[in-house]
Amino acid sequence: MQTRSKIFEDVSKLMTNAMGVAQGAKDEAENAAKSLVDRWLADRDFVTREEFDAVRLMAQKAREENAALLARIEALEVKKKPAAKKPAAKKPAAKK
């Protein structure tokens, strides 16, 4: 009777150890795959999300500055525009 429980105990320990090894192998495979993907992405010269967001904010700020400058230019043009002159009347051509 005691040998039977010893066998079950040994099988249980073996299965527990096998699960630990399988979990370790899974973790190692995930790390290797992540490393491979990270290297592939680095070789492709992609931008990071942080870089993309920074450039997007710079472009948005530049558009806003351009719109403000355009409004200032238009206001200055309205101020400086001389009054429209009446066209001079044409003189009749002299007959020879």
The structure tokens listed for 5 are 């429980």
Assess whether pLDDT exceeds 70 at residue 14: yes
For residue 77, the tally of other CB atoms under 10 A from its CB is: 9
Task: Classify residue 64: in a domain, yes or no.
Answer: yes
Assess whether pLDDT exceeds 60 at residue 84: no
How sure is the predictor about 88, in pLDDT bands with cuts at 50, 70 and 90? low
Distance between CA atoms of residues 8 and 12, nearest Å? 6
- Whether residues 42 and 74 fall in one domain: no
Predicted TM-score of the model (pTM): 0.42
State the alpha helices, DSSP H only, in the chain: 2-43, 49-80
Q: pLDDT tens across 38-74, in order?
A: 899 888 888 889 999 999 999 999 999 999 999 999 9
Q: What is the mean pLDDT of residues 22-33?
A: 94
Residue 36: left (phi > 0), alpha (psi -120 to 50), or beta?
Answer: alpha
Domain that holds residue 11: 1-46
- Whether residues 55 and 68 fall in one domain: yes
- Whether residues 42 and 52 fall in one domain: no
What's the number of CA atoms in the CB half-sphere (13 Å) around residue 31?
A: 6
